[in-house]
Amino acid sequence: MAVSWTDSRTVGELLVELSADGVPVHRQIEAAIRDAIRSGRVERGTALPATRRLAEALGVSRGVVVEAYQQLVAEGYLTSRAGSYTRVALGADAQDPPLPRAADELAIDFCPCRADGAIFPRKAWLRSTRRVLLEATPADFGYVSSRGVPRLQQVLSSYLNRVRGTSAKPSSVVVCNGYGQGIALIVQALVARGARRLAVEDPCADDDAVPVARAAGLEIVGVPVGPDGIRVEELERLDADALVLTPSHQWPTGGVLPATSRAAVARWAREREAFVVEDDYDAEYRYDRAPIGSLQGLAPDRVIYSGTASKTLAPGLRLGWLVVPSQILGDVVEAKQLADRGSPVLDQLIFADFVDHGEFDRHLRRTRPIYRRRRDALLSALHARLPDLEPTGIAAGLHLAAYLPDWLDEGRLIAAARERGVGLHGLGPYYLSGGGRAGLVFGYATLDEATISAGIGVVADAVAQVRDRA
Amino acid sequence: MAVSWTDSRTVGELLVELSADGVPVHRQIEAAIRDAIRSGRVERGTALPATRRLAEALGVSRGVVVEAYQQLVAEGYLTSRAGSYTRVALGADAQDPPLPRAADELAIDFCPCRADGAIFPRKAWLRSTRRVLLEATPADFGYVSSRGVPRLQQVLSSYLNRVRGTSAKPSSVVVCNGYGQGIALIVQALVARGARRLAVEDPCADDDAVPVARAAGLEIVGVPVGPDGIRVEELERLDADALVLTPSHQWPTGGVLPATSRAAVARWAREREAFVVEDDYDAEYRYDRAPIGSLQGLAPDRVIYSGTASKTLAPGLRLGWLVVPSQILGDVVEAKQLADRGSPVLDQLIFADFVDHGEFDRHLRRTRPIYRRRRDALLSALHARLPDLEPTGIAAGLHLAAYLPDWLDEGRLIAAARERGVGLHGLGPYYLSGGGRAGLVFGYATLDEATISAGIGVVADAVAQVRDRA
């Protein structure tokens, strides 16, 4: 067998290729570095390897490397300071566009459905990380089942059965990257089984099930939503193969599906052999209302339950989970396997540890009163400053909806508030049919009480402006 | 607005519903817990809330809860020990199947393409985690760009340009969940642009591009692989819209695509306006061969570069990255958005910190000699015990291939070794056409030198057995 050797090396992770074509070695090193800088492959400020390390790695004398560096410093490509690394002085000619700004330019934004990153349990998360890194076996760093890490499957099924009244077994749990991926996997599984028409609530979220299902070729039909969630009698007429539902806290209007409707949905699914996706997105936050057991517990053979850590911990974790009926489990797992072979293992182990050690319960106990105070501040401010608005769906979650009086135009109010630096979000975009009762969706999770109160004051001014101009 | 109150509560995260129908409260609590245990919603060993906390939450006297617990202990549903939580004693009737065993039952497994979890840099990873959790802003816990966290885009483009000779800008980097997701996103983007036929190397991996592309409806055609990677002249005939390639270390046979072939591939792509996916899966491990600059550097407008932390750190991290030409970038980003709205943010920040602090370079310097020693041990053992095998592709990565002599049957050898507790992996499954030169793929990354040597000894015995029976 032949082992090929050449004269080039990755050195200090810098690609330098040397050839034996008679060009002095220091010139070759200069050319390699100059070319890397000119082409933009090495960026302004990058530290070069120490001369001794580069020399050792290339198998040349240190003097040769020093000479090359000095030449490039003289040419202005590099800068050198005593006691520090030699660094790249010049950037490439082609400059990158500036990176997008993460911060919103609005002073106050009532953006719905975000957890407050400022109350993320950093210390407890770090403790769980430390334990997991200490205890993990070498196999834990490898590929695992695309369903999820067994320990998290067990922790989640136990947690959901206890808290949400689901009927889950560890083997029926599929861990996914948030509901965003969960619904994509479900849609793929439904399509694989021949589904053609998907029913969704009208209004509903415009950024998850609907675009994913449309991209997969499914026809979308809307089930009208009343004060108590969907009108089940309308569902019967739609000839749909599946239904996506937020029964515990309708998104965005906040209604709770009553027991009779829940039973009717379960019956509909069984009769048609349809599947219901239960998007239980904010189940953990209930303020002054009974916890509503999951729909999945009623019909575990027809309901795909979906939960997420996006509201309780952080959307950035991309941690979600499905409880999947056995008939469609294989299709969902295959979709997950094709999608990314499984979710990140350490994250799953850390979250399992976090739940197991009671940190999740503790975090919920700590954050519920915080969010409740914010909701109360919002309700008080709306009552005092905007009594013509009609709040709804206030008993749970991280947002509420408020219907507008007939004389107040949703779009013009949003524009007027935005001019004043306050972000409002209308119900309009969530109606499938394009029309429906005008209103706003107020997220209150990321704003403290004083800010909420001040923000509603600004909105009241905006309302006055819109009214005066009308 | 109406606020609905009822008599039920999630208490200590246990769903207990109380009604005012005249049944004594302690009986209602008993029934709720008994039902939860019977239905399997609460598992054996689960700790119940402390009596005081449950009582407070339900608004009943503690004595009522104590009475309910005592009754259930008497009935055998719960167990109680002084100074400890009351726990569930009985499991549900319907038992779960046992969880799948993570550990392989083979004594020695030459499974290819795994990093060694035992040398994962746990302490450095924890340090990066601590820094990130300390420094992260609240916005870092929220939704981010589906392309990736700007800091990691910058770190990766800088790293890849420096080490792999790519021509990447931060804005051209898309972070994804390993190559498994990367290739799925690319396939979706190609399909969205009208691609119909995908060329792959023959042999090639059987678990990423091929199944994903087939599921997406693409026709797969194979380009024969010789000792120096694909035969480019064969590519010309195939009328393909895209090509997936491992130019730096052909998987599985280990060839390196020479400069003339690389130029020909770039020309082919430009002429046809086709895209080339460069799967640079093990670029960081080079032992006695020049580092080969990326193909992407040659043709950044036609090559989608794909890298991964699966070989350098751990597959379980599910961390991969693409460098995407601007023409197809929008399609890839849209596919990522629909897939899962972006990869986990903390993981991205931790990896960026890990690279930024020089830990990644340090880790590579530490692990290269470890893997090199294992490769050397494997080569020595093969030379000494199995001189009829013909190793190839040995200069890089975490695996090598070895062709078998004509008289040795691949399947029978694998079966004979498995009987002896040694896992071997044949080239057979990787040939698209179903036929090709018989051989084995030896992964050596997770085995120490003594184990490798012992394992090859067992394989030699298996060879002798197959030969004697032939």
**Is B158 found in the same domain as B262?**
yes
pLDDT at position A91 is: 44
Distance CA B281, CA A105 (A): 40
Whether A290 sits inside 8 A of B17 (CB atoms) is yes
In a domain, A99, yes or no: no
- Shortest CB distance from B340 goes to which of A129, A130, A180? A180
Contact B298, B259 (CB under 8 A): no
Whether A290 sits inside 8 A of B8 (CB atoms) is yes
Residues of chain A found within 8 Å of residue B133, distances taken between Cβ atoms: 122-123, 125-126
- Tokens for B234? 């064969």
Chain A: residue nearest B388 by CA? A1
In a domain, B103, yes or no: no
Contact A277, A190 (CB under 8 A): no
Q: Spell out the long-range contacts of A402-408 with Cβ–Cβ below 8 A and sequence spacing 24 or more.
A: A402/A439, A402/A440, A402/A442, A403/A427, A403/A437, A403/A438, A403/A439, A404/A438, A404/A439, A404/A440, A407/A467, A407/A470, A408/A438, A408/A463, A408/A466, A408/A467
In a domain, B265, yes or no: yes
Q: Is pLDDT above 50 for B93?
A: no
Distance CA B167, CA B305 (A): 10
pLDDT confidence band for B82 (50 / 70 / 90): low
In a domain, A379, yes or no: yes
Cis preceding linkage at B252, omega within 30: yes
- Tokens for A12? 């200090």
- Tokens for A460? 């009241």
Residues of chain B found within 8 Å of residue A130, distances taken between Cβ atoms: 126
Q: Is pLDDT above 80 for B29?
A: yes
- For chain B, give the mean pLDDT: 88
- Tokens for A64? 């040769």
Across A50-54, B285-289, B297-301, which has the greatest mean pLDDT? B297-301
CA distances from A270 to A185, A215, A241, A305, B338 (A): 22, 27, 11, 16, 30
- Tokens for A69? 């560096």
pLDDT at position B410 is: 96
Tell me what the mean pLDDT of segment B171-183 comes to.
97
Chain A: residue nearest B394 by CA? A3
**Is A459 found in the same domain as A323?**
no
- Burial of B291 (C-beta count, 10 Å sphere; 0-12/13-18/19+): buried
**Is A339 found in the same domain as A366?**
no
Which has more pLDDT, B226 or B70?
B226
Q: Does A271 touch chain B (CB under 8 A)?
A: no
Whether A341 sits inside 8 A of B178 (CB atoms) is yes
pLDDT at position B250 is: 95
Which has more pLDDT, B76 or B197?
B197
The number of domains in chain B is 3
The secondary structure of B405-427, three-state, reads: CCCCCHHHHHHHHHHCCEECCEC
pLDDT at position B96 is: 37
**Is A127 found in the same domain as A78?**
no
**Is A420 found in the same domain as A315?**
no
Longest CA span, chain A: 88
The residues, any chain, with a CB within 8 Å of residue A453's CB and separated by 6 or more, are A377, A380, A381
Whether A8 sits inside 8 A of B212 (CB atoms) is no
Which has more pLDDT, A364 or B70?
A364
Whether A8 sits inside 8 A of B291 (CB atoms) is yes
Whether B15 sits inside 8 A of A178 (CB atoms) is no
Residues of chain A found within 8 Å of residue B363, distances taken between Cβ atoms: none
Tell me the pLDDT of chain A (470 aa) as tens digits. Answer: 222 223 344 444 566 767 666 667 777 888 788 777 766 677 777 778 888 778 877 778 888 888 788 777 766 677 776 556 787 775 433 333 333 333 356 899 999 968 899 999 999 999 999 999 999 999 899 877 899 999 999 999 999 999 999 999 999 999 999 999 999 999 999 999 999 999 999 999 999 999 999 999 999 999 999 999 999 999 999 999 999 999 999 999 999 999 999 999 999 999 999 999 999 999 889 887 777 789 999 999 999 999 999 999 999 999 999 999 999 999 999 999 999 999 999 999 999 999 999 999 999 999 999 999 999 999 999 999 999 999 999 989 999 999 999 999 999 999 999 999 999 999 999 999 878 999 999 999 999 999 999 999 999 999 999 998 86
Q: Is pLDDT above 80 for B171?
A: yes
The residues, any chain, with a CB within 8 Å of residue A254's CB and separated by 6 or more, are A392, A393, A394, A395, A396, A397, A399, A400, A401
Of A325, A357, A389, which residue sits at a domain end?
A357
**Is B371 found in the same domain as B258?**
no
- Tokens for A369? 């009163």
CA distances from B104 to A144, A180, B114, B419, B423 (A): 12, 33, 14, 14, 10
Residues of chain B found within 8 Å of residue A297, distances taken between Cβ atoms: 41
Whether A338 sits inside 8 A of B215 (CB atoms) is yes
pLDDT tens by residue, B397-423: 999 999 999 999 999 999 999 999 999
**Is A423 found in the same domain as A322?**
no
Which has more pLDDT, B129 or A115?
B129
Q: Does B2 touch chain A (CB under 8 A)?
A: no
In a domain, A96, yes or no: no
Where do runs of H (alpha helix) occur along A59-177?
A: 62-75, 122-135, 150-163
Secondary structure of residue A136 in the 3-state scheme: coil
Distance CA B107, CA B382 (A): 19
Chain B: residue nearest A318 by CA? B344
Whether B163 sits inside 8 A of A15 (CB atoms) is yes
Q: Does A74 touch chain B (CB under 8 A)?
A: no
Tokens 């969880």 appear where? B99
- What angle, 0 to 180 degrees and rounded to 10, lies between the N-to-C axes of helices B326-340 and B178-192? 120
**Is A384 found in the same domain as A463?**
yes
Tell me what the mean pLDDT of segment B9-30 comes to.
66
Whether A4 sits inside 8 A of B288 (CB atoms) is yes
Whether A138 sits inside 8 A of B347 (CB atoms) is no
For residue B184, the domain's CATH number is 3.40.640.10
pLDDT tens by residue, B427-466: 999 999 878 999 999 999 999 999 999 999 999 999 999 9
Contact B399, B442 (CB under 8 A): yes
Neighbours of B237 (CB within 10 A): 9
Q: Which of B452, B363, B150 is nearest to A103 (CA)?
A: B150
Distance CA A403, CA A418 (A): 19
Laid out side by side, the sheet with B197-202 consists of: B173-176, B320-323, B303-308, B275-279, B242-245, B197-202, B219-226, B229-230
pLDDT at position A470 is: 67
Tell me what the mean pLDDT of segment B57-66 comes to.
80
**Is B183 found in the same domain as B47?**
no
What φ, ψ does residue A152 adopt, rounded to 5°?
-75, -35
**Is A337 found in the same domain as A436?**
no
In angstroms, the separation between the Cα of residue B24 and the nearest Cα of chain A is 20
- Burial of B4 (C-beta count, 10 Å sphere; 0-12/13-18/19+): exposed
Distance CA A357, CA A250 (A): 31
Of A357, A385, A416, which residue sits at a domain end?
A357
pLDDT tens by residue, B264-276: 999 999 999 999 9
**Is B137 found in the same domain as B180?**
yes
- What angle, 0 to 180 degrees and rounded to 10, lies between the N-to-C axes of helices A62-75 and A51-58? 120
Of A335, A357, A379, which residue sits at a domain end?
A357
In a domain, A98, yes or no: no
Neighbours of B271 (CB within 10 A): 10
Instruction: Give CA torsion, residues A230, A235, A238, A239, to 10 deg.
Output: 130
Distance CA B100, CA A171 (A): 9
Q: Does B338 touch chain A (CB under 8 A)?
A: yes
**Is B332 found in the same domain as B345?**
yes
In a domain, B96, yes or no: no
Q: Where are the beta strands (DSSP E) in A73-208?
A: 78-79, 87-88, 108-109, 173-176, 197-202
Distance CA A201, CA A155 (A): 31
Distance CA A388, CA A404 (A): 7
Whether A6 sits inside 8 A of B150 (CB atoms) is no
The residues, any chain, with a CB within 8 Å of residue B429's CB and separated by 6 or more, are B206
First to last CA, chain A: 86
For residue B57, the domain's CATH number is 1.10.10.10
Q: Does A40 touch chain B (CB under 8 A)?
A: yes
pLDDT confidence band for B19 (50 / 70 / 90): low
Residues of chain B found within 8 Å of residue A95, distances taken between Cβ atoms: none
Kind plus residue range of the DSSP H or E element containing B244: strand B242-245
In a domain, B94, yes or no: no
Secondary structure of residue A184 in the 3-state scheme: helix
Q: Which of B468, B450, B460, B465 is nearest to B386 (CA)?
A: B460
pLDDT at position B6 is: 30
The residues, any chain, with a CB within 8 Å of residue A96's CB and separated by 6 or more, are B169, B170, B171
Contact B445, B374 (CB under 8 A): yes
Residues of chain B found within 8 Å of residue A6, distances taken between Cβ atoms: 289-290
Chain A: residue nearest B392 by CA? A1
pLDDT confidence band for B176 (50 / 70 / 90): very high
Domain housing B341: 121-357
Phi-psi category of residue B284: left, alpha or beta, with phi > 0 → left and psi -120 to 50 → alpha: alpha
Q: Is pLDDT above 50 for B1?
A: no
Size of interface A-B (CB pairs under 8 A): 307
For residue B448, the domain's CATH number is 3.90.1150.10
Q: Does B144 touch chain A (CB under 8 A)?
A: yes
What φ, ψ does residue A456 adopt, rounded to 5°?
-65, -30
Kind plus residue range of the DSSP H or E element containing B368: helix B359-385
